[in-house]
Amino acid sequence: MIPKFLMSAAVLFTGFACAWFYLRRPAIRPNRATHPFAGERPWRRVGAAICLLLSVMFVAGVYAVDIPDRPVPYAIYWIIMLGLVVWLFALAIRDVKYTRKLIQRWRRDIAEGTDDAPCRSFGAAENKNP
């Protein structure tokens, strides 16, 4: 009983930590003048909500849904969970692609000298205009 409780607490803590991390502002901050919508990522809020939902559903599924009593709802429940995991993975891939695109754009702007604001995460030394 205690290992099951500890595991459930660890799953809940991990879910909440992932949601908090996913909601944090990214380390890369765009120049608002040249890229006004670059920092807005609405799918991050959806991903955080899915992380929270998955952690709560996992714990509820371990305690509430039993195989011998109800095999069909058990299968449906865990298929829904699998679908949410796939959706979360797709959102993470989208976020990685978007971030890579922004980094490439900012590096190009820095190389061309068109970006006036220093960027915190990379190229701050190269971004000083003489």
- Chain position carrying tokens 């992932």: 18
pLDDT category of residue 7 using cuts at 50, 70 and 90: confident
Answer yes or no: is 117 within a domain: no
pLDDT at 124: 47
| Total domains, the chain | 1
> CA-to-CA distance for 87 and 46, rounded, in angstroms?
10
| Structure-model confidence comparison of residues 25 and 130, the more confident one | 25
Answer yes or no: is 129 within a domain: no
> CA-to-CA distance for 25 and 99, rounded, in angstroms?
12
Give this prediction's pTM.
0.66
pLDDT digits (tens, 9 = 90+) for 85-110: 999 899 889 888 888 887 888 788 78
Answer yes or no: is 118 within a domain: no
Q: Which domain holds residue 41?
A: 2-112
